[in-house]
Amino acid sequence: MNFTHTLSDSKNWIINHKDQLEINWSEKDIELHLNKETSFNIYLLDQTNVKGALIGHFLYQDQKVSEFEILHIAVLPEFRNQGLGRMILEELEKQLKSTGKSFKIFLEASAINKFAIKLYEKLGYKAYNERKNYYRSKSINAPNTQDAILFAKSLNAIK
Ligand SMILES: CC(C)(COP(=O)(O)OP(=O)(O)OC[C@H]1O[C@@H](n2cnc3c(N)ncnc32)[C@H](O)[C@@H]1OP(=O)(O)O)[C@@H](O)C(=O)NCCC(=O)NCCS
């Protein structure tokens, strides 16, 4: 298993896998994100097949600290529940730690996204806030609105 920050055509890979990644961004949003200087993304691949991705960006950085936001993380459906989501998050932490800075990672999840929440909690992310009725669902099988839960994790630099 390998990690990479870019694919030969990251934009089209994301667009072509939007449904499997469960990402509801427009093509324009994806392009804007990938072109931002603060954008930082990790793709997990096995030889040439991409199995999952983390899409994120730096919110703030100075010489000692960095703040990072995970905008989306997804594993393609056929590879879920095999530890790959955890692997991608651990890789992000490893890469952020290697800078020698203290860092804080933020993310938000829908309160009904049980697997994602379980994954974040197992890795030590703590819920610090919630936004009531934040997401509007298009599905007839789900409640019309869903709460968002905000998570964060801090790691201190080794002195
Ligand atoms: C959330 C997501 C990235 C998790 O990726 P994953 O590779 O399936 O996760 P992992 O296999 O690393 O599982 C991590 C933990 O989550 C739980 N989990 C994940 N899938 C599960 C399933 N189908 N059944 C039961 N538990 C599950 C387990 O507790 C697991 O920990 P364990 O192996 O120690 O028991 C994946 O479900 C996904 O892509 N979902 C769609 C996109 C999405 O909702 N992203 C989150 C946006 S906030």
Give CA–CA dist 102/67, Å, rounded.
Answer: 9
Give CA–CA dist 4/43, Å, rounded.
Answer: 5
Which of the listed residues 115, 120, 135 should we mutate to test ligand 1's pocket, taking the one with most ligand atoms within 8 A of CB?
A: 115
Residue nearest to atom 38 of ligand 1 (CA): 74
24 lines ligand 1 (CB under 6 A): no
Q: How confident is the model at residue 137 (pLDDT cuts 50, 70, 90)?
A: confident
Token pair of 100, please? 């020698």
Q: How confident is the model at residue 139 (pLDDT cuts 50, 70, 90)?
A: low
Active site residue 120: yes
High-pLDDT (> 90) share of the chain, %: 89
Give CA–CA dist 31/43, Å, rounded.
Answer: 16
Question: Is residue 140 pLDDT above 90, yes or no?
Answer: no
Residue 48's pLDDT is 78
Residue 56's pLDDT is 98
Residue 122's pLDDT is 97
Distance 142 CA to ligand 1 centre (A): 19
Distance 5 CA to ligand 1 centre (A): 22
pLDDT tens digits for 55-98? Answer: 999 999 999 999 999 999 999 999 999 999 999 999 999 999 99
What would the mean pLDDT of 16-37 be, rounded to a whole number? 97
Residues 50 and 12 sit within 8 Å (Cβ to Cβ): no
CA–CA–CA angle 66, 70, 73 (5° rounding):
145
Q: Which residues of 66-98 are buried (b: 16+ CB within 10 A; e: fewer)?
A: bbbbbbbbbbbeebeeeebbebbbeebbeebee
Residue 2's pLDDT is 96
Question: Is residue 142 pLDDT above 70, yes or no?
Answer: no
Domains observed in the chain? 2-155 (3.40.630.30)
80 lines ligand 1 (CB under 6 A): yes
Residue nearest to atom 33 of ligand 1 (CA): 83
